[in-house]
Amino acid sequence: MHKTRPYAWTIATLLILSGVSIFVGVGDMTFSGLWLNPSEMQLLLISRGPRTFAALLTGASMAVSGVIMQLLVRNKFVEPGTTGTTESAMLGLLLVTLFAPQWPIFAKMAVAALTALLGVLGFVFLVRKLPPQRPLMIPIVGLIYGGILGAGATFIAYQADLIQYIGVWMSGEFSGVLAGRYELLWLAGGLTLLAYFSADQFTVAGLGRDTSRALGLRYGYVLALGVSTVALVSALVVVTVGMLPFVGLVVPNIVSRIMGDNLRQSLPVVAGLGAGCVLLSDIVGRVARFPYEIPAGTVFGILGAAVFLWLLLGRRSHV
């Protein structure tokens, strides 16, 4: 009974937040009006429903990507947003906008995924050059690495008069999500499900390359699967809603402190808590300056940065 309690709480919280998200917004909507007023049902199907699903899928996939990233580099203080992955995806999206703006969205997503993959591989290469007895250097190097990539993207955008595009991709907001413009995120949800089926392999890979190989794990295959998942999810999120910082860092650390490091048991809660946090941030952004909106990435970024510093300083005080 005790083991099922986190799952029950997670599901209940997601249902409550989803209900609130559907009925919060500038346009009036009531439960009875959904069945009596066709315009309210249309609002649900075109805007409120897709927006809610987009927030849930984004939060779940980014949180699971954070877990995978932490296991691959064996450090609790990294995630796609602090390792240059999202900046690499943004750089790829900027390049394809410059040189092939007529390409369809799937082609742009593929280019963003490729550059994100290169960004992840670059970070993994840098991590292997760091001394293992200095774990706090890994997130610092990741932030510097991501800052360099982001500065490069900003410079290119400035030269090409595309700064406004950079602002959109970095905002992490859901106000523009409508039916027909968020469906790529279902692919991110599918990758999250794939990660769950490979949870045991990722757990073993987190023990290190030599140990995992001694246990019979195909470490190279698991590494390729994890890196590809992180790159694809980052590209899908950046293309659809923009950057959402700290989701993959804060959520896995909170769940790990409560449930431990058994990924098979904790991954559903990680996905659920990530989805709930992003959806809650979107709701807060909608009501904080109603009828105007604050991007969900800004709301969660403030909270995530505070928790990130707490994790770093708390860990450092015990070293």
Q: Could you list the pLDDT tens digit for every one of the 319 residues in the chain?
A: 455 677 888 889 999 999 999 988 777 777 777 777 788 888 888 888 899 999 999 999 999 999 998 888 888 888 888 888 888 988 888 888 888 888 888 888 888 888 988 988 888 888 888 877 777 788 888 889 988 998 998 898 888 888 877 777 777 888 878 887 788 889 889 989 988 888 888 888 888 788 888 888 888 888 888 888 888 898 888 888 888 888 888 899 888 888 877 788 889 999 999 999 999 999 999 988 888 888 888 888 888 888 777 766 765 443 3
* C-alpha span between 150 and 238 (Å, rounded): 13
Exposure string (b/e) for 84-104, b if CB count within 10 Å is 16 or more? bbbbbbbbbbbbbbeeeeeee
The predicted structure's pLDDT at residue 16:
94
pLDDT for the residue 4: 64
Task: Provide the whole-model pTM.
Answer: 0.87
Residues 244 and 297: beta-carbon distance below 8 Å: yes
Using an 8 Å Cβ cutoff, are 174 and 51 in contact?
A: yes
Structural domains in the chain, CATH included, are: 5-318 (1.10.3470.10)
In the block, which residue shows the tokens 């790529």? 184
- What is the rounded distance in angstroms from the CA atom of residue 134 to the CA atom of residue 266? 27
Q: Residue 283 is encoded by which pair of tokens?
A: 């709701």
- DSSP annotation of 47: I
In this prediction, residue 314 carries a pLDDT of: 63
What are the tokens at 143?
């932030």
Q: What single DSSP character describes residue 216? A: T
**Residue 1 corresponds to which amino acid?**
M
Rounded-to-integer distance, Cα 294 and Cα 292, Å:
7
| CB-based contact 72:226 (threshold 8 Å) | yes
Tokens 């995806």 found at = 89
What CA–CA distance (Å, rounded) separates 79 from 242? 16
Query: Would you state the pLDDT for residue 5?
Result: 75
Q: What is d(CA 206, CA 282) in angstroms, rounded to the nearest whole number? A: 33
Strands in 123-276 per DSSP E:
none
Let me know the angle formed at the C-alpha of 277 by 106 and 120, rounded to the nearest 5 degrees. Answer: 45
Other CB atoms within a 10 A radius of the CB of residue 194 amount to: 13
CA 166 to chain centre: 18
Q: Which helix (H) or strand (E) holds 271?
A: helix 263-288
